[in-house]
């Protein structure tokens, strides 16, 4: 892959303050894209931005809480005032509710997960698709989980949100396939060394897991390929 493969492209990465999101943002910047970093934690975003700048890349931070009403609409308005198009949208941010039986799901926590994992996804697509249609080579990548299609006991709340997340992306892929130069892919990162993984599997040795940079490298490679809209894959190698 050419080092500056994505020169003149603008990418937006949600959940870019740490883990897979931060690693993906840095990899995209290294490949030449200008990366818009969004997450709730402004200080953490500034740290990622600084690392990108130190490596010779360019980035802009845009702190936003995806659960906040109209937060995504305000974000899209600000982005569209500065850039004419958006080439890449990586929907990485997600909320993991506490694991437990379906009968014990905390409604408030479940509602917040639905807001971040599902409603925010629809809002991102609704607000940024007009900018992406101006790209000529727009790509959306949504990060999912195996529990979306292979539900497991005690994962009901998260699995339900990720199943809905995938359906939204699949429908969007079909709806835009023949009317816009916009492609959609769904990627399951597999077991990766992240804070979310540590919360879900507190007894697991993180040294046995691949790092976020492995997933980021595959995402950047995929973004450089001519994949079919609706593409799905898993990143299970270490």
Residues noted as catalytic: 158
* Residue 8 backbone phi and psi in degrees, to 5: 70, 10
CA distance 85 to 194: 31
CB neighbourhood size of 40 (10 A): 17
What is the per-residue DSSP string for 25-90?
HHHHHHTT-EEEEE-S-HHHHHHHHHHHHHTT-EEEE----TTSTTHHHHHHHHHHHH-S---EEE
């Amino acid at each position: 892959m050419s080092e500056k493969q994505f020169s003149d492209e603008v990418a937006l990465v949600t959940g870019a303050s740490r883990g897979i999101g931060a690693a993906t943002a840095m990899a995209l910047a290294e490949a030449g894209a200008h990366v818009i970093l969004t997450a709730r934690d402004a200080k953490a975003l500034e740290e990622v931005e600084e690392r990108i700048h130190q490596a010779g890349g360019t980035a802009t931070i845009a702190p936003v809480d995806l659960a906040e009403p109209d937060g995504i609409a305000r974000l899209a308005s600000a982005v569209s005032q500065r850039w004419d198009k958006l080439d890449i949208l990586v929907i990485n941010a997600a909320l993991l509710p506490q694991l437990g039986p379906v009968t014990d799901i905390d409604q408030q926590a479940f509602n917040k997960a639905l807001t971040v994992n599902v409603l925010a996804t629809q809002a991102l697509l609704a607000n940024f698709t007009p900018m992406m249609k101006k790209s000529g080579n727009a790509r959306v990548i949504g990060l999912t989980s195996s529990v979306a299609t292979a539900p497991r006991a005690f994962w009901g709340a998260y699995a339900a949100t990720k199943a809905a997340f995938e359906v939204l992306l699949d429908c969007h892929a079909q709806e835009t396939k023949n009317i816009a130069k916009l492609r959609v892919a769904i990627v399951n990162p597999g077991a990766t060394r992240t804070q979310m993984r540590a919360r879900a599997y507190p007894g697991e040795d993180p040294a046995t897991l691949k790092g976020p940079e492995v997933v980021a490298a595959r995402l950047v490679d995929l973004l450089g390929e001519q994949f079919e809209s609706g593409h799905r894959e898993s990143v299970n190698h270490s």
